[in-house]
Amino acid sequence: MSSISRRGVIAGLGASLALGACSNPIGSDGAERLDARVDATRDFLQQNYPEARELSDKAHGILYMPVMSEATFGLGGAYGRGALRINDATVDYYSATSASFGLQFGAQQYGHALFFMTESALAEFRSGGGWEAGGDLRYALVDQGESIGVDTTTQGRSVIAMVFGQSGLIAGASLRGMKYTRIIP
């Protein structure tokens, strides 16, 4: 029986993230495939969560990240690609990269959308070379009743993140950060 080394764990984590990234669009038709996934994500949110339509109507722009793939074993990471839409038209493409550290293990996939509720928040996001999710961000998670409490979670927020479609399992506690970077698919 062989023992598990730190290098083996890191190599396994890297391989998991690489496989997850393969499910994201790459190649010459990357923009078309990514736009199709964003369309499906937008439709899913609006059909399953009426609050998403309300947020969409009020938002100055929405960044859709259809698939985020995450794996962790002590150290963790996540990656995904998406598109920023203004008036439901794609204006830019972005990747999201997340790193975490802590007592954690598992793997999952999920989607998320960032709703930019003010013009200044959208302008700051678009003008930066990379944007880190921070104190301005408020997460709205689906509760047991399958709806999102938009009224109580979003008042006065400049950016709202909606996380949805989780599959897989990650357990533990960690410190994490996420960075969004403009890309050309």
Tens of pLDDT along the chain (185 residues) come to 445 555 544 544 454 444 444 444 444 568 999 999 999 999 999 999 888 899 999 999 999 999 999 898 988 899 999 999 999 999 999 999 988 888 888 898 889 899 999 999 999 989 876 666 543 344 444 443 333 434 333 445 788 888 888 788 777 666 677 888 999 87
Tokens representing 170 are: 């990650």
User: H or E stretch including 123?
Assistant: helix 119-127
What is the residue whose two structure tokens read 């709205």? 140
CB 94 within 8 A of CB 100: no
- Phi, psi (degrees; rounded to nearest 5) at 69: -105, 125
3-state secondary structure of 142: coil
| CA-closest candidate to residue 55, choices 94, 85, 80 | 85
Kindly report the pTM of this predicted structure: 0.73
Q: How far apart are CA 49 and CA 41, in angstroms?
A: 12
